[in-house]
Structure 1
């Protein structure tokens, strides 16, 4: 079935989602809602949020708006009996997610959140290897995700807590936390230091987060920063029988460098694994946007549960972020 789609918010992410929908050919975008756009954008009507929510022909709504609108538009779209795909963050708090889940249950429609990092080919490979058990249990994870911003950041909605909900943790760190949960399971102990050391905004420019699973002793550490003057993405996972290190991430600007996954088995006696023992794979294509839309539309078409990026995942993630911000001291 080819679904009729409306996109609310037609900035960078709205355009990316539109392209992915066109590529998979499982939906057709028939309406857009971008307040600053022309009445018609590439031949597609640009109408109000209200009109798109109540459009009788729209089956699916894609929400690509500033963070503060995500919860409201998701609930309104579900209440209008539309399937919903919403960009991250899902909302501002775990309590918000519970409200969204109530609307989701009443609607009977599909709801999926845009955590595209889960859909990178490198991460899919890591997930399959971890789930296979051939490397044993996860012992610890370390994630670093950072970028630099320019002075005009102060004028953007992301720099305002009431519009963004938070700073770099809500912007980038949320992706790494999501990968921790996706690749290794839950955590029940959260400790953090959150600061606005350099930019002195009302949102954080650095977040240091330590997570622990009490039952197993598994630990994960995250540093999310906007004072990383050289863009960086690095995810390290060490298991009982080996390790996986993902450095770089394919983006349109390639500012995070090449996406390179190194995997090796450990040794029980010296010398430990060396660089030459690693199997190194470089990924040259970012298929995540297409894979993500495929998963969403297939779940609708086959009436099956959203397995990757559902509201249960969102709730676990936002409960961790709640705990982090509770420990903020500025």
Structure 2
């Protein structure tokens, strides 16, 4: 079967997805929609997002638009009988994701979310090492993810609470939360957080989040910092196990601003200090293959009927439950936010 794709939102992410699909070769982008679409683009341009959803020749819809429309467009496309790939965040709350899951169930179509960090080469290798069990169980994790923004950021939709739904946590930190869940394989029952906007002072748009999380059954504890006052971009994920550790510093991205993607691996030795620089192994990942891996995973599900094991709606629900808990415990966003949040499964 020939698969045809419509992309809603043809900015940077829409263009990245189109290129990845072209390289995969199993689907053809036939139409795109963006309110700021350049006149000389390579694809036919729809007048509205609904035109793409209603087009009977399109059987796959990519949602690469602003955060506020992710939920309604995903549900509309599923109800129209389309397979859907949607960027993060899936919605504004976990309760919203439950609505999406119901539409997914009724449609019987493939739904996948853009948590591409799972597909970075260093993360794939880290997950393989952890799942092998050769280093023992995970004891704790620490993640820091931050970027620098300037006054131009205030002019974009990401600084608009109604369209963005939140600040740096939904913009970037959500990827780190997803990686914590991906690596631990369990949710986090206990969450304590500080959520603030003390530098940019944008109502409802946090610029820093500090959180501590714990899974009560396994005892895995996590330290997390998400920030947009990191004046030099930073990505760092550390996973310490009983018999060793994996530390990922840097992330290969199109901007090149997060540094070289380097995974450090070491086994625990008998004598303290249990490891040192000489006993560490370092792996470097010079090419970002995450977009290609993600496109392949999605098209395997659409074309071959394989399950979505990375970035499915269950993962989307888990990460949004965690986002809800962080925001609810932070107590510093817009006064009515906590009334809107539907915190699932944990009484604060």
Q: Name the TM-score, length of structure 2 as normaliser.
A: 0.93
Q: Residue in 2 aligned with 1:320?
A: 322
Q: Residue in 1 aligned with 2:3?
A: 3
Cα shift at 1:104: 0.3
**Alpha carbons 1:212, 1:218 under 8 Å: kept:** yes
In the alignment, structure 1 residue 310 sits paired with structure 2 residue 299: no
In the alignment, structure 1 residue 160 sits paired with structure 2 residue 155: no
Backbone CA RMSD of aligned residues: 1.1
Q: Deviations over 1:155-213 (max 9, x none)?
A: 11111211111100111110000000001122111110111121111110000011101
- Taking the aligned partners of 2:120 and 2:37, their CA distance within structure 1 comes to 31
Q: Residue in 2 aligned with 1:239?
A: 241
Q: Residue in 2 aligned with 1:229?
A: 231
Cα shift at 1:46: 3.6
Cα shift at 1:275: 0.5
**Alpha carbons 2:191, 2:329 under 8 Å: kept:** no
Cα shift at 1:45: 3.2
Q: Residue in 2 aligned with 1:22?
A: 22
**Alpha carbons 1:117, 1:288 under 8 Å: kept:** yes
Alignment: residue pair count: 330
Helix, strand or coil at the partner of 2:330: coil
Cα shift at 1:47: 3.3
Residues 1-330 of structure 1: matches in 2 within 5 Å? 1-38=1-38, 41-186=41-186, 187-202=188-203, 203-330=205-332
- Taking the aligned partners of 1:168 and 1:235, their CA distance within structure 2 comes to 17
- Taking the aligned partners of 1:108 and 1:20, their CA distance within structure 2 comes to 25
Runs of 4+ residues over 6 Å off in structure 1: none
Give unmatched runs, 5+ long, in structure 1. Answer: none
Helix, strand or coil at the partner of 1:272: coil
Q: Name the TM-score, length of structure 1 as normaliser.
A: 0.98
Of the structure 1 ranges 54-63 and 157-166, higher mean CA displacement relative to structure 2 is found in 157-166
- Taking the aligned partners of 1:40 and 1:284, their CA distance within structure 2 comes to 33
**Alpha carbons 2:31, 2:43 under 8 Å: kept:** no
Of the structure 1 ranges 155-164 and 133-142, higher mean CA displacement relative to structure 2 is found in 155-164
- Taking the aligned partners of 2:263 and 2:38, their CA distance within structure 1 comes to 43
**Alpha carbons 1:39, 1:47 under 8 Å: kept:** no
**Alpha carbons 1:32, 1:47 under 8 Å: kept:** no
